[in-house]
Amino acid sequence: MEVNIVTLPAFKVRGRKWEGTYQQVPGLKEVIKKVENEKEEINPMDPDYQWGLSVHTIENGFVHFSGFEVEDANTQEDYEEMNVQFHTYMNVHHPKGRDIGETYASIYQWFRDGNAKPYLEPATNYYDGLPLKFEKYPVDRDFDDPHFDIYIPIQA
For residue 3, the model assigns a pLDDT of: 97
Q: pTM higher than 0.85, yes or no?
A: yes
In this prediction, what percent of the chain has a pLDDT beyond 70? 97
- Model confidence at 73: pLDDT above 80: no
For residue 156, the model assigns a pLDDT of: 81
Nearest alpha carbon to residue 13 among 46, 51, 48: 51
Nearest alpha carbon to residue 17 among 71, 63, 68, 78: 63
For residue 114, the model assigns a pLDDT of: 97
pLDDT digits (tens, 9 = 90+) for 36-64: 999 999 999 999 999 999 999 999 999 99
For residue 78, the model assigns a pLDDT of: 85
pLDDT band at 131 (very low <50, low <70, confident <90, very high): very high
Q: What does pLDDT average to over the chain?
A: 94
- Model confidence at 4: pLDDT above 90: yes
Query: Could you please report the per-residue DSSP string of 102-147?
Result: HHHHHHHHHHHTTS--B---TT----SSS-EEEEEEETT--TTS--
- Model confidence at 76: pLDDT above 90: no
144 phi and psi angles, rounded to 5 deg: -90, -15
What CATH number does domain 3-155 carry, 3.40.50.300, 3.40.50.970, 3.20.80.10, 3.30.430.20?
A: 3.20.80.10
